Each structure stands twice: as structure tokens, then as C-alpha cells.
Structure 1
């Protein structure tokens, strides 16, 4: 066949300005293949000119020898008789196909180009391997530079004649097997394209290639020989595929890290994974990790301290597996909330990728930003991930990067894929980057954050994940669910109690440092008692002396029974009433302090009228519970709460059991039918009413049996509800949509439609727009002049229904015999987070020995041991230890629970000498030249806390 006069491609656009963007990957693959295939060196050498393009709806007259490529998207636009005209010309070559391989095959039949054609085999030019793919890369880069120029409305300065001469010279040299001349020509081609781009932008885009790995994927990839190909492409070996050490990155998921770490015990597996670990030590290979396992990845379902510990354990796992700590934090599944930034900074991370790759969320409007939290800053890669296995994003990648540069951003393309799953356009981009930086420079992640361009703008990370509810549901559904609602609640409550216990013991040791040597062997009661100079009683029966210790950062009201008398009339004693020889006392306990009661006075005798009538009026009456703060009206027909009345605020709310529409048959949640309501206990200190019955569907059929026990104490703003629910059927849930249509819940209804629901997540009060919420501490129903806290006691899932209803999920029909749950309603409490935690881990009350048997000081009194100036600031998980220099140190979490900035003062029972935010050195940090973000003024620690800020604080005492 004679040399072709022209090679052209028909595009489905009128100009390059409206070159297709997006669309399907299949259309993009065919379109880009149609453009680049014409840059085959055999075609360039024959035509001695650059390929051209035409509109698909107005193609050229197919006369003379020519090659016409019609990508799949253009087929529907070409004139109906155009194919007939082409077929009528024996010198016209019609080429189409779904991808480059098909088009090469079609061209090969005409041009005699076979895969084994000696004129198309790779050439070696110094350290570089030249192949046909380098010409395809030049074609792809040429297209992107032209699209960038036109999209951004710049005037082209491209010397097309020079470009044509050099690419033709390179093609001829390649076909003639002259490696040096071919390399020289290609260098000129890429330099020419780079100069064109430099006319508009002086800074280079950044390219990050990220391979995702899980345990199963990593093992399968290694078996398939991926490691060798990865090493070659990263430049560890001879550049067999011509990419000359393109910097690569991998994301080591927690499951992959766990498998690598466990393989160290098995010599065979260790040898297998050791090659991968050695690969990560290469200079051209970066890695990110430190994330937590997917089954525990819902940080919204944890306390703040638990979330920090999980991050620390994920980092420790990655460090053990790879042999060194990761410098970039990333996780395959789950978002990285902003309040975790201080913990990441303290662990030594230099950057973070806060993207949930599984859900496809977490990216921002800018590619690289600075994220701040807790007086700490980290650079974050927040570029929207580009699927490197699909061609759609590569249609206008150049224009996209140009727009980012034009807007003043750190232009970054985050190219994400699984091992060996990449498209031809991605490979073209990689090859182009080995010749020039016209489309950007590839980086390893550590160097991207340390040597790369520093972002100019600050960004924000989400505090809550919109997919956290889905994450929790995944653990609940399926034939063999990982957990139940009850087990999740128990696990969360255990964490809260553990943190409260740690705080209690720490305060005791701070008050009496000599207890540090006895802490391992002494129980909580003994430590607390000895800290204030008393001894715990041996028995559990009511004694004449009682001690209550409160580890929470909010004052609380408790009850105790004293034997043989009443306490003195101190202000903190709310009320005392006789019960035979004993006295029931309601008293207040200061935040992070104690109250000590002793029966020093005789119990007041009841008057004649009270003796005749049987005593004082009890808190519980038939279907009513009431104290000084509220009156709770129960529905005797249904068994739920018909109203809660407090002072002049009217009816606060109502509450009942409901079943979702898939169980009840309607949106109202079924009907409660109470078979029995009885008063179990009623006196001046406490009232308990129990309601039992059935929850019925729309047809009157029983779908569950229930028992609800309502409890209200004297002087309390808390209404406690203990429940049991036994579903009548076992309806296994197979999907998330089914789950949200088949659940049992306590539905709280308020009167106003303007109520705002504020979930308590990681010990902070948040605003949430999502209707499905994960808030194991509970939800605040915020109305104009009143607030109601629904404490779920660890129940993680809540749902907003309509404008006035909040569902707290208590059970699902999973085949369990009986589901037990607790919910507490707290009315107008100023510190909802601390109140919710105190409901789960109440202040300890126990009997102590009488004076003269190990006690000292007064018999009745109270004191605080740690004082926090702001009621919105939470202090938790305190730990007391002695430094190497002999000084006493306390490490604690200090959390601003509200979205506001405040100046906080912390005062302790010991004199604070120094304070600082903890780093990798922990409590052993040198006290010389500490930063001034935390200071000590005359023994008082002073620091500023920002919105929802959590600080890992260390205080050193002069003890």
C-alpha cells in the first residue's frame, strides 16, 4: 500500500473546547484510543505529518490513501452514507474498536503490524527503554495540552511545525532501529509540549499514584507476580516497561498490616510478605497507613479517649508490620474526623489523607490544604480520587489540573487503583511524566508532604461521618452478625466506666502520692478512702458513715442510707427522711470531688398526722411519678409516657415503643397495649412503676412483648427507663434498607416542630443534618427555652422521624430471646456530655469505718480535688504516674464539649508546676523552654480551647 496522505480521527465535538468530559469509561477508552493510535510510529513515518481530527458529523471526503479512526462515541454522529463512501475507496482504512488493543489489531491487518514486528520492538537508549507506547504518550500529552489551552482561553504558542518535524524524525528513527536518534526526537517533542504549557503556568501539577491493598488483595497480587511488576515500574530493577522509576505509593490497610504482622510467626508466609516490606524501603516507593480495621472503624461510636487509643493501636500495628512508623495517615474505610488531628500530630505523622475510599467521600474542594485541630496542624491531601482503572477522568485531566493551578491551589491528581488494574491512559500519563513535567510530577507520599508545595489555604474536615450509621448497621445485619445492639451498648458503657475508674484512681493518687506504690493491689474504694484519710467498711450494709466520690466534671446528686441517725444539716444535704432506724439521705457531690456523711444527729420523728396516715406522700402514684422538678404522667392504656410536666414549661414530651413500618405495617409504629401497670416502690426518696404488655401491628397482631420500668428519685432531673423487649418473630435482615424498616425503638415526641437534634459524639455536642445518627452517649433535643437529653446508655443508633420525633433503637428481630436496654431522660441539664457519662458510670457510694479506726478530720463534709472553670469542659481518663526525675505527673484528656472557644482554668489538690500538650515523649518531656500555649499561674493551669477541641494534657506537680 502506498504511503497514506492523512491519518485522522472523527471526534464527537465541534471544537476542542467542547471535547467530551466524563461519560462512561468505555466511551472514553475508545475515544482516547482513537486519538493516540494515530501516533503509532509506523503511521507517523509514512504520512510524515501529525494526525488530524474532524467533526464526526462533518467528516472529510474519503478520497486517496488515508486512515480514518472512528471511536465508539462518534459512530452515532457520522452521516449515514459515510461508511459506504469509505468502503468504496480501496485505499481508505476504516478503524474502530473499543480500546487501543482492538484498534492496533485492526491496523495490523492493513499495515502488516504484528506484535512480533521487529520494527516495533523496544529499543534501549542508555537507561531508557523506548517503545511504541512512548509515541502514544506523546499523542495523549499533545491532546491534553491543546485542551488545556483552549479550555482556559489562552492563545496557543505551540510550534506545530517543529513538533511535527521532531515527532516524524523520532518515528522514522524508531522504525529504522536508531535508538539514539529516536530518543533525541522524543525529547524534543516533549520539551516542545512542556514549553507550550510553561507559557501559562510556571508551577507544575502534582501526581500521586496510590495502590490500595487489603489482606486478601495483597496476597492474591503477590501470587500473581505483582511485586515484580511493581518493582520494575518504580525503578528498582531495569526499567523493563519503560517507566524509569515512576514514584509509586501503596495504602496498607489495617487488615493487610495485621496479616503481615501475623506472618512473622510463619517462616513460609514471612518470606512471602518480607519481599513486600523490603519494597517499601525503596526511595521511589511511598506508603501510607495507620488506619484502623474496618470492623471497628466507626469512630463516631466511641468515646474520644477510645478513638485516640484506636488510632494509636493502628499506628503501632502498621509500625510492627512494616518495621517503621508510617509518616502519612490513611485508611481504606472510614473518615478521619478533625478532632483526631492532634493525636495524629503527636504520633509523628507528617500528612493525612482523610478520604473514605470505600464510600467515596471525604475529599474537599481543594487538592491540598492545612487542617488544624487542638493547636496542631497537618497537611491533608483532599483531592477527589481519580479512578486510574477508568479512562473517563483522563479525557480532560490536563484542563482540570490547569484550572486548579489557575485558581491558586496546589494542583494534585490522586490516581487510585487496585494492583495491576490501570487503564492505557494512566500508563500514557506515567510515560509522559518520565519525559517531562508538562502534565505534572509523580511524588511519593512522604516527599509530597515534606518537599512538595505547601498549601496556601486552610481546610476543614468533617467532625461526623454521614456513613457512620451504615457502618454500624453492617455489623448488626447478616446471617452471622458481628454484634448486637446490646453488645455494642455494653462495650461502650464499659469504655466509659473504665475511663471514669481511671480518673477516680488518678485523683486518689494525686491527693495521696504514697498510694502510687499500692495502686496495683488496692481496689477503687480503698484507694479513694485512703486518699482522704479514711478506711472502707468491710460490709455492704448501710453504715453510720458513708463516702461518695464523683469522677465526673459535673456535680451530681446521689442517695445513700445511713444507719442509726441523720447527717448534720449542711447545704449539700438536699433532704433526709427516716426509714425506721435508718435515714435516707439525698445529697450533692461536687465535680471531681467527694462528699462524706456521718449519722451524727437523731432522725426526726414523724408528726402525729404522718404517723396516722402512714408517712409522707411517695414519689410514685398510680400512673404518676413526681418530685420537685417534674411530674411524669404514664398512659395506663398503652404503658408509655403521655407527658412530662416541669414548672411552667408545660408538657415537655411523650414517649412510647414503636416498631418500624416493616414490622408494624404502618408509619405510626404500631400500638402499645398495656396489660398491667403497678407501683413497685414509692416513698419520699424514690418511685418505681412497671408497665408490661404487648406491641401490636396494624392488624392487632402482637409483634413483641415489653416491660418498661420507670424510676424517679427525689431531687433528680433524671427519669430512668429500664426496658425488656421480646420480639414474637425472627425476621433476619439482609440489607441496610431492610434494617431501617424493621427495628424497635423508643420514640420521643416533643411539642414544637422547631426542635434541633444534637447528637453527643466523641464526648462533644454536635449539630447534625443527617436523619440517621450514631450517638452512643445520647441526643440533646434542643428547643427554644428548654433542653431534653436522651441518654441511650451506649445504644448507638438514633433516627429523626418527621419534625417532632426521635427514635432511639433498642432492638431488632434477630432471634434473641429478650433484649434489655436502658434510657435516661435528663431535663434542662447544663452539661449534657458529663451528665450522660455520669448516668452510665455513676458516682461511687460506699460505707466507711467510723472515726478512730483509720479516719481523720471532720465527720461530714465535702471537697473538690480537681476544679474545672467551665461546665462545658470535660476532663476524663486521668492517669497519675511518677516521672524519671521524681516529680508527679498527671496525663488527661481535656475536651471542649461545645462548638465555642473558651479560656479554661484547671486547679488541683496539688500545686501544678508545669503543664504541656503531650507529644511522643509523653510525661517525660523536658520542662525547659515549654511552649506558652499552656501555662501555670500560681499552681493553676490555664489554657485556651477552641471549637470541640480535645487536648492530651500533661500536668507536672511539685510533689
Structure 2
């Protein structure tokens, strides 16, 4: 064939009736073949030898081109053509390009066809022509999705395209680019006819855990207007592997060529943890960015699931510029997409955000949906935007095509950084609030599938350890208030919480390759947690010893116990008095003494974040009187009682049949343990076939462990039997305990090691502790990051608590950090225990009644009081004292570390002249119930200064310090950071 001759037309045979019917659900190979066909149809060699610019034709059309033409046949169009299509095209001496998939295949076919002509075109300008083809196709698709059905000015486009091709073939690159610029401007004019506003494209690079730092550094150096989405831990790894990485990062950020989408150091699992853990994870990440990378403008984003309805308050507190409200992990979240909006938290705080799901630009099948996705943004957003996600090393040409096109004219949009986009759109947003029930994390499924950790007990252990680390922080705050000389080298609570975050990140990995290649043995994780517990106990012991040294004492032969309360409110505590000690002295705060099973138990009232020093009776302090056992025993066969209620056990299942308050008839609670099947099983009952979803639980034996006078306990041994086969699936023991003076139940469950753990979807089949109540319309709330939240579906996460409340009664279920629960009906709830991958066999629940502020009993349940034996000294002035108190019952206080870069001295201390370095404590105050509060913070030593501040130490408001304390106004669900200087 003479390649120097002219062709009448360039035709792409499409697998559809028209361009608007172009299929968007093709697989990757066929989609690439189709897109590359349109791109290569604008090759300068084809344009230089054609009389018309490229067009498309239905592949199964009865009239194939009859004149000599260039016909490009994508792979998906072959199925539409008749058996003799090749003969027809060959008969008219057409150039046919088919059986190609990748762009290199098409280019090779074109170069082969025109090899004899001697014409060559440099690759650098050929790429621009191919980008014109891609932009032209996407524009035509977008035009039709926007119901415009208009094409670019064909005369102008044809004139400029032919001129550009002629210049390219002749080697005049500058002239070719000038004509190409006019071609792209022609396309832009067409787009502005149906959308005259600005359109933004954001190039989002997401390095994986296996990405080499050289690839990331190269893409930062070579790519303008880049957005890098990575955790701070990833950036730390890049810096460790390449000492020049930070310099490259700083330079790109300083030149406004790079925006960072990050914020967390380890990306802890937000719904399963505490507010303090999330705060530390963000603060440590931002501190590293500020100190090491000198980056101050950060946009919040996560690779792992971590969005909740309360996050805007925390993000605004840390001065994030915007937030990416998109889940790149599995999980459920509000699927309403907004290009830009003001994400409003539970407290009314807003932060600029976007929820447009990124398009995988490295995928041809995704690019076919570009027009659909862009149309959604054009129709719903005031400024259209498209996020284009990719790895550092791009394997396909689609992103390059869009960037080349945007460099000539913003046909499909202008590439910008997130910072520039937020700056342009921040005044166009409206507040949007999402309900807490719209979120559900993927962590249960992930841990059950990857077997990286016990799905239930591991997050529960981490939760309880974090709460105990918070108690250490509160203890250290007490030491500062009392001027206790602390060891400067002692372990800090923030370091312990940071270590916990690292442990969680290690044991909850979800990268399949990393888990497969580098499995983390369960014994190693247990060893890590045990080591952490030892560190925590040692740190608490040291701090408590420093605190004891500040208490005035006198020498004595008496032995005793120093008991420290680490929560800022009065707390009831039961003490097992050591049997080798003499009778304890009657001191203020010791409210009762009981002898049970040969052991002496003391009932004490501990002051807010204060101590109670109990010791043996001495001459001036006589011994406490032991209470006589009165009334009926607290435990009888299948019955428990205390001063508030009676607990009746079911004689068939061994579970709790009813909890009935004295002089009341309503049943407050029923409970039993059972196994749920993944699918209902058919059984016959009295000649009738019925479906059952749960196995049968049978009581084997019941034993009264203790009957009072302080506590009553019953141990029931039960067996779980398959309802269909009647085979035993295992046995367990349930020990239920009541205290004489507390409206609460303690339920301890111990499963045998041989218990058959169900395998399968952990949300569908499991062993659970089932709870039931009478009122089917009672409101059910859960605790997420310490705040009361609702939920919508059956499945929900809550490591804090589940509360069932109506106008008269409240039921509080405390799962001790186990986060996974399922509501099975209006009156029943399953708390998941044993499921696929779970290794623990011991579980505890605390059930409280009529507690109006749930987080207080939650902390009392998971944070034990600290006890330290003493010898040869007793308190000389007072045996009990408070140190720090928070008046509002709906406000929780979490101790924090000093902000990075914060000066050690305050203004007032500098004015007073040289003196000892002032001590500072920082408290994160959190409203938990959705009610405004005037919260009075009282300390044993009056502070010299108090202020509300941001996370970086910026002062928001200076507060008045009075003899009564420091008054803080806090709105519903608000968080405030308070700093007290002593």
C-alpha cells in the first residue's frame, strides 16, 4: 500500500449505536483498546494523510467506509462486525488497525503502515496529539451526559489539527504546538457552552506500604500540583530510607507545588478507641510534620477507616485546613458525594471538606466513567471537581493525557493542589452534618479474615490499657499540683499511649502481602501487651510513691494501704483488707466494714482524684466496727439480691431470667449466652417445622459461691447444644455477682478451651451474650469516643457502653472495651464474644441501672483504683483528701502532654521575676451527653493562670482563677483544651 496517498477519513468503529451509548462497563483490556483507538486516531501521521479529522461509526453498520479510509477497530467492536468486514475494507484499499490493546501496539501499527513514506514525528509532540484525542473523546461524552449534544467547531478544529499535523511532520514543533493550543482552546469553548465555570482536577498520589521512597521522591520532584496522601508513619519511613526525602518534601510544599493529605501517625481505629488515643495519634503526627518537615498546612485524610460524626471538632482543634471525608478502606459511611462542603460535627464545628470518591486514573475502565463522574459534580457542586487517584508509578497514559491537555487549555479542568482548591471554594460551602449511625468500620471482618489479632479481645485489651494509661496521666497531674518531685526519666502517659498506638498498628495490619510474608505471631502480640502492662504498673507505682511523699506522715508501727482515685469525682471502692494486717482504723472515708468467707472487706468513699490512706488501728484511732450480717442472704439457689433488686436465673438456660426492683413488677433485664447460626436451621417441634437462629443453652449445675454479707455470687455451668443435631458445642461457666450497696451486676463468662468456635462471617455467626428488656420503644444509644451516639442498622461498634433508656428507667451495659454488637430485635441485643479467629475465653460485663451519666460508671469499671501498701508510717494530718475535681457530670477530662514548641514559662511567672519553673497540666475536656454545662475545675493548689487553647498551644481565651476554681463553659458535644499553670 502506498502510504503517501491521502485517505478520505479516519474512522473508529465503536461498540455502540452512538457515542453516548459507548459502554462504560468494559473490562480493563477492552476499555484500554477502545480508549487508545480514539487517542491514536489523532496521530499526526494519520492526520497528515487524511482529508478529515477522526470520526466514529457504529461497528455493526451496514455501510462500512467504501472510500479509501483509515479504520481503527477496538477489540470490543470485533463482536459487532460481520464475518466479511475485512474483505470489504481491503477491497477499497483501506488501512485497518485492529487487534491492538495497549497504546504501544497502536503506535507500532501506525509507524509500520507509514514506514515507507519516510515521515517521522518526534515522540514528544506525538503524545500531545494523542492527548488531544483522549480529551476530545471525554469532552464528547461529557457534553452528552450534560444533555448538550454539541460538538466543537468542526471547521476550526479540522483546520488547526491539519496545520498542527503538517508542522509536526515537517519537524516544526513550536508551530505544531501553537496550532494544538488552538485545538484545545476550541475544545474548551465547547465545554464552556454547557459549563462556563471553573473545573478542577486533583492529582492524588497514594503510595502503598511497599512503595519505594525513590518512586515517591521522583514523583514529587517531577509533578507540579501534586497531592500526596500518606500517613505520617509512611513519611517517617521515607525519611529513614532516604535522607534527602524531607528536603524534597519541604521544597515542594514551600513552592506550593505539593499539598499533604495526612494527619495521623499510626491511623488508629477511631471507632474502637478513646478520644485520648486519637488525640495523641494526630498530635504526634503533626509534631513530626512541624518539627522535621517544617510543614504547617495539612489537610486531613486517612488510608484506613477512621471517619466519625465527631471528627470535625477534633480536626478544627488541630487547625487542619480541610478534610477528605472519603473511605479508602472497607466499611460503611455516608455515600452522599459533595465536591466541597462544610463538614459539621456534633458540636456545630465545621471544617472545609470533600466527599467525592477519587477516580482510579490508572485504570482504563475507570476512565470510561470519567464523564459520568464529572457530570455528577457539575450538576451538584458549585465548582466541579474530580479527584484522580494513582500510585507513584503510573502504568497507563491517561493521567498524562489529561495533564497535557490542561497545560494547553483547561478543557476538562485545571490541575490544582488541595490547598488551592480549598482556598477557591471555602466561601461556597454549606454546613452538612452526618449522623453517627451512618458509619460502620470494617475492622471485625478484617481481623477475622487476616487473623492478625483476636477480633474481640484484642481491641478490648487495647481500650482498657488506654484508659489505664489515662489514669497514669491523671496521677502525674496530681503530682504536679502537689509539687511532688517526679522522676524526669519516668515513663510518661503519652509515651505509653503512643506505644499502644504502635502496637495496634502492628497487630491490625491489613496489607495482604505484608501479612502473608511477615506474619506476626499471636504470642509476640501478647508479649508486647504484657510488657506494656508491666511498664504501666511500674510507672503508676513510681508516681504513687512520689505522691505519698507529699502527704504529711508520722512514724508508726502500723501497716496500711494508700488508695488513689484517678477519676475526678467521688467514687465508691471496695478493699480486700490483707489478712496479715490488724483491724483497720476508723478514718473519714471508710464507710463500712464487712467480714465475708473469712476475709475482711472495706467499703470506702474516695474523693475526686484523691487518696484515702487506710492503716491498722493505733492508740488514738480505734478499729472500725465490723457490720453484722442482716436480713436474708444475698445469694440463694438461682437467686441473687441486694438492697435494690432481685436477680432470678432461668432454671433451663442458666441465664438471667429477670432483674426486678423491690416493690416493682417490671423486668429490667434478661440475659443468656448462646450461639447464633449463619443461616436459620429447621427443627421439628410437636410435628411442626420451625426455624431457629440460635443454639440451645442448657443449665448443667448451679452453685452459690458467696451469699454475703457484702457480695452475693452464683456460678452456673451451662452447655450449648446444637438445636438441629443435639450435639454439644461446648460448656461455659457464668459467675454473676451483686454488691449489697450498688445497683449493678458483674457477669463473668469463662468458656472451655474445647468450645466449638463458629467459622464464617463474624457478623453472622458467633457466640454472644444476649440481653433483653421489656420496653420495645426504649431509646438505645452507644458510646463512641466517649460521646453518646445513635446507630441505624443492626450492626454497630461501641467499646464504651450501650444504654437502653426510657422516661423512667435506664439500663447501662458496659462491655469492657469489646466493641462489636448486633441489635437483633426491638428488645434484644447480642454482644459478640466468640467468633472466627478469637482466642480469648474469658469475658466480663458490668450492668448498671439508673445511671444518668454513662461514662462515669464506664471509667470506674475499666480503670481500677491504685493501691500501695505502706509500712511504719501513717498520715499525721489527714487520711483522705481530694486533689482535682470536675463538677459537671457530663464532662470528661483526659490529661494531655505539653504541646510541642510551647514555652516552659507563662507570662505571669516572667513578671514575678526569677522563680522555680512553673508546673503545667493540660486537660482535654469533653462534653458527652449533648448538654451545655458550666464546668468548675477545682484543684487542691490554686493555679496562677488558666487558659483555653488550641492543640498547638495557641491561646483561645484566658480564664479567671478564683478561690472556688476555674469555670469553663462548654457546649453540647464540644471539646475544650484547658491549661492550668501552677
What range describes the TM-score normalised by the shorter chain of this pair? Answer: 0.7 to 0.9
Aligned residues of 1:526 and 1:535 also touching (Cα < 8 A): no
1:431-479 C-alpha deviation (Å, 9 max, x unpaired): 10121122222223454445776552334467578453x324534555x
1:275-321 C-alpha deviation (Å, 9 max, x unpaired): 97689678475253545577x63122211101211223344566788
Aligned residues of 2:20 and 2:144 also touching (Cα < 8 A): yes
Bigger shift: residues 788-797 or 530-539: 530-539
Q: In the alignment, what sits opposite 2:687?
A: none
Q: Is the aligned partner of 1:52 residue 2:23?
A: no
Alignment of 1:240-255 (within 5 A): 246-253=224-231
Q: In the alignment, what sits opposite 1:66?
A: 69
Alignment of 1:447-458 (within 5 A): 447-449=420-422, 455-458=428-431
Q: In the alignment, what sits opposite 2:706?
A: 681
Aligned residues of 1:565 and 1:583 also touching (Cα < 8 A): no
Q: In the alignment, what sits opposite 2:129?
A: 135
Aligned mate of 2:740, from 690, 714, 726 = 714
Aligned residues of 1:170 and 1:182 also touching (Cα < 8 A): yes
1:392-445 C-alpha deviation (Å, 9 max, x unpaired): 343363574465345443322111122334433332112101211222222234
In the superposition, relative to structure 1, how do residues 650 and 864 fare at CA in structure 2: closer, same or farther (>3 Å)? farther
In the superposition, relative to structure 1, how do residues 334 and 578 fare at CA in structure 2: closer, same or farther (>3 Å)? closer
Q: In the alignment, what sits opposite 2:877?
A: 856
- Between the aligned partners of 1:484 and 1:145, the Cα distance in structure 2 is 48
Aligned residues of 1:902 and 1:946 also touching (Cα < 8 A): yes
Bigger shift: residues 75-84 or 741-750: 75-84
- Between the aligned partners of 1:799 and 1:193, the Cα distance in structure 2 is 54
In the superposition, relative to structure 1, how do residues 683 and 539 fare at CA in structure 2: closer, same or farther (>3 Å)? farther
Q: Is the aligned partner of 1:172 residue 2:159?
A: no
Q: Is the aligned partner of 1:260 residue 2:238?
A: yes
In the superposition, relative to structure 1, how do residues 808 and 66 fare at CA in structure 2: closer, same or farther (>3 Å)? same
In the superposition, relative to structure 1, how do residues 797 and 846 fare at CA in structure 2: closer, same or farther (>3 Å)? same
Aligned residues of 1:533 and 1:855 also touching (Cα < 8 A): yes
Q: In the alignment, what sits opposite 2:650?
A: 635
What are structure 1's unaligned runs of at least 5 residues? Answer: 123-129, 236-244, 264-269
Alignment of 1:736-747 (within 5 A): 737-740=760-763, 743-747=766-770
Deviation (angstroms), 1:46:
2.0
In the superposition, relative to structure 1, how do residues 165 and 879 fare at CA in structure 2: closer, same or farther (>3 Å)? closer
Q: In the alignment, what sits opposite 1:125?
A: none
Aligned mate of 1:655, from 667, 671, 682 = 671
Alignment of 1:312-351 (within 5 A): 312-316=283-287, 327-345=298-316, 347=318, 349-351=320-322
Q: In the alignment, what sits opposite 1:127?
A: none
Bigger shift: residues 427-436 or 838-847: 838-847
In the superposition, relative to structure 1, how do residues 716 and 445 fare at CA in structure 2: closer, same or farther (>3 Å)? same
| SS of structure 1 residue aligned to 2:468 | helix
1:82-132 C-alpha deviation (Å, 9 max, x unpaired): 666445433464646445444444445544489xx751223xxxxxxx421
Q: In the alignment, what sits opposite 1:426?
A: 399
What TM-score do the two structures reach when normalised by structure 1?
Answer: 0.81
1:917-951 C-alpha deviation (Å, 9 max, x unpaired): 433554xx5xxxx5359776886544454553333
Q: In the alignment, what sits opposite 1:500?
A: 471
Q: In the alignment, what sits opposite 1:368?
A: 340
Q: In the alignment, what sits opposite 1:490?
A: 461
- Between the aligned partners of 2:838 and 2:188, the Cα distance in structure 1 is 66
Q: In the alignment, what sits opposite 2:270?
A: 299
In the superposition, relative to structure 1, how do residues 144 and 823 fare at CA in structure 2: closer, same or farther (>3 Å)? same
Deviation (angstroms), 1:729:
5.7
Aligned residues of 1:536 and 1:849 also touching (Cα < 8 A): no
Deviation (angstroms), 1:660:
3.7
What TM-score do the two structures reach when normalised by structure 2?
Answer: 0.79
Aligned residues of 1:557 and 1:716 also touching (Cα < 8 A): no
- Between the aligned partners of 1:640 and 1:110, the Cα distance in structure 2 is 83
In the superposition, relative to structure 1, how do residues 390 and 354 fare at CA in structure 2: closer, same or farther (>3 Å)? same
| SS of structure 2 residue aligned to 1:3 | coil
- Between the aligned partners of 2:430 and 2:63, the Cα distance in structure 1 is 50
Aligned mate of 1:310, from 269, 278, 281 = 281
Q: In the alignment, what sits opposite 2:385?
A: 412
Aligned residues of 1:107 and 1:113 also touching (Cα < 8 A): no
Q: In the alignment, what sits opposite 1:242?
A: none
Aligned residues of 1:902 and 1:944 also touching (Cα < 8 A): yes
Aligned residues of 1:67 and 1:93 also touching (Cα < 8 A): yes
- Between the aligned partners of 2:863 and 2:218, the Cα distance in structure 1 is 56
1:469-511 C-alpha deviation (Å, 9 max, x unpaired): x324534555x6434644443332121122123224424643x
- Between the aligned partners of 1:941 and 1:749, the Cα distance in structure 2 is 43
In the superposition, relative to structure 1, how do residues 775 and 57 fare at CA in structure 2: closer, same or farther (>3 Å)? same
In the superposition, relative to structure 1, how do residues 70 and 757 fare at CA in structure 2: closer, same or farther (>3 Å)? farther
Q: In the alignment, what sits opposite 1:761?
A: 784
In the superposition, relative to structure 1, how do residues 785 and 13 fare at CA in structure 2: closer, same or farther (>3 Å)? farther
Aligned mate of 1:644, from 659, 663, 673 = 659
Deviation (angstroms), 1:720:
0.7
Deviation (angstroms), 1:80:
7.4
RMSD: 4.4
Aligned mate of 1:807, from 799, 819, 830 = 830
Q: In the alignment, what sits opposite 1:919?
A: 950
Q: Tell me how many residue pairs correspond in the alignment.
A: 896
Aligned residues of 1:536 and 1:848 also touching (Cα < 8 A): no
Q: In the alignment, what sits opposite 2:886?
A: 867
Deviation (angstroms), 1:205:
1.6
- Between the aligned partners of 2:206 and 2:732, the Cα distance in structure 1 is 48
- Between the aligned partners of 1:538 and 1:353, the Cα distance in structure 2 is 64
Q: In the alignment, what sits opposite 1:437?
A: 410
What are structure 2's unaligned runs of at least 5 residues? Answer: 491-538, 683-691, 910-916
Q: In the alignment, what sits opposite 1:214?
A: 208
| SS of structure 1 residue aligned to 2:6 | coil
Q: Is the aligned partner of 1:791 residue 2:814?
A: yes
- Between the aligned partners of 1:98 and 1:791, the Cα distance in structure 2 is 59
Deviation (angstroms), 1:43:
1.9
1:68-93 C-alpha deviation (Å, 9 max, x unpaired): 33444545555777666445433464
Aligned residues of 1:692 and 1:707 also touching (Cα < 8 A): yes
Deviation (angstroms), 1:554:
5.2
Q: In the alignment, what sits opposite 1:238?
A: none
